Amino acid sequence: MCLYPHGFIGCGMAGISEQKRCEIDGTVFNPFSPDFVREPHATWLKLVSEYPIAWHRELNMWVVSSHELCGDLLKSHDFSPNYRLWEHALPEKLEAEKLDFDRMTDHSLFMVTQKEHLRLRKLTMPAFSKPVMSQIDATIRDLIVERFDEIGSPEAFDVYTEIASKLPVRSIARMIGVSAEHEAMFQKFANCVVLAARINLTPEQRETAMREGQEGIDYFREQIALRRALAHPGEDFLGALIAAEEDNDSLSDWDIIALISSLITAGSDTAIDLHTYLINGLLSHPDQYSLLKQQPELMENAIVELLRHGSMGKFPFFRFAVDDTEFGGQQIRKGQSVLVNLSAAWHDPAKWENPQTLDITRDLNGNLVFGAGPHFCIGTYLVRAQARIMLEEFMRRFPDAELSGQDGDLEYDYAHHNARRITRLRVKTNLEPVRKVA
């Protein structure tokens, strides 16, 4: 049986030599089952308590689920996110066959060697510093306020259509400094980057997505060249990347374009779920929603707790074994893929008391919501700023909002490749009675 809806190179190729390993199949964990997507807690509990690490026979990958093992895995140098290390990866193209898109991907944070990754993270640090990042607050606020103005004062609206699907890519565009007239081009480039990164694509589909991304690559090459020609490249995000220097080393054009593509890959899909899960989490827990209204200083903690509690990921993060290695008492072969099942880890009762309770005052020390180790999320400032401003605006405009029906007429995209993607979440604003009284 293959659990991937669109086919997957590794399916049905599970090794037969490993005798003693702990194994599971789709009866324990089937990420595409509608039952699991709707109600995943029993599965996560089974995984963290009975199968903290197990070989999934049908998905052909290791699944690591306990909080402790996920933390160890993220920090380990025995595993890499570079999918070219995967035993079933397609052979790398010859230099002459490469598209610009391949050259960009070669430099991305997920593909480079550990040494190169460290170099890139060091050189990109100034661009993520407080002075540069705080500049984005104002532009993100404008974007969000404008969106809420467009939503207006309806009786009800859909959070996915009106907020979640509209803000993430535009927020990244604002952070990078893409001008309004180029936003449509950037959106197209982002679509290509996200599509080309999907694991369940045929080689032909991937090649098409990569070719269609050329316009975006050309745009950024031109922008970088223009900035490099100036006496000073500027104080904004792009300027900081161009000016960054360490030990006589600086970022190349490909390093910068690849960073932008990494931000899109890691930051546009996740941020779609960010908005729906934040609002769903709050409105389905009215006690926590009113606590946050009374104590807005809890906002930062609430955002992380809502992400932990909502656990929107289904297949989010992978590692590939750099060599044969022992991990969590299991023998992992070089090139095997490992799912870092953070959604399960965020509900591990060994780490979290009453993990299914949403408690915005919870002590979140040691959480893995933004990862751990060398690949710790680089976008946390943007996530927090975007989430905080969006929630403040939502609460200000719709303080008495409730979910429509019992559960916001919730709908999921059950076939989504890596998330428990909510595609409908209707909210009643409860503004109408107030207006009538007035």
CA–CA dist 433, 180 (Å, integer): 38
Query: Smaller CB distance to ligand HEM: residue 32 or 370?
Result: 370
* Least distance to ligand HEM, CB of residue 16, Å: 29
Query: Smaller CB distance to ligand HEM: residue 56 or 170?
Result: 170
- H-state helical runs in 51-167: 67-75, 100-106, 114-124, 130-151, 159
Helix (H, G, I), strand (E, B) or coil at 157: strand
Between CA 274 and CA 159, with CA 315 as vertex, the angle to 5 degrees is: 25
Contact residues for ligand HEM, defined by CB under 6 A: 74, 81, 109-110, 121, 172, 262-263, 266-267, 270-271, 274, 307, 317, 342, 369-371, 375, 377-379, 382-383
**Cα→Cα distances 294→70, 210, 246, 307, 417, Å:** 35, 48, 46, 21, 38
- C-alpha torsion 239→123→318→306, nearest 10: -60
Query: Smaller CB distance to ligand HEM: residue 70 or 431?
Result: 70
Query: Smaller CB distance to ligand HEM: residue 362 or 428?
Result: 362
* Least distance to ligand HEM, CB of residue 318, Å: 7
With CA atoms as reference, report the closest residue to 292 among 276, 310, 306, 272: 306
* Least distance to ligand HEM, CB of residue 430, Å: 27
* Least distance to ligand HEM, CB of residue 325, Å: 18
Query: Smaller CB distance to ligand HEM: residue 24 or 372?
Result: 372
CA–CA dist 198, 259 (Å, integer): 18
* Least distance to ligand HEM, CB of residue 390, Å: 12
Q: Does residue 388 contact residue 396 with C-beta atoms inside 8 Å? A: no
Alpha carbon 48 to chain centroid, angstroms: 22
Q: Which residue is nearest to ligand HEM (CB)?
A: 379
How many other C-beta atoms lie within 10 A of the C-beta of residue 96? 5
Query: Smaller CB distance to ligand HEM: residue 267 or 281?
Result: 267
* Least distance to ligand HEM, CB of residue 255, Å: 13
* Least distance to ligand HEM, CB of residue 288, Å: 18
CA–CA dist 296, 388 (Å, integer): 10
Query: Smaller CB distance to ligand HEM: residue 239 or 316?
Result: 316
Would strands 23-24 and 53-56 be described as parallel, antiparallel, or unpaired? parallel
The tokens for 144 are 């969000």
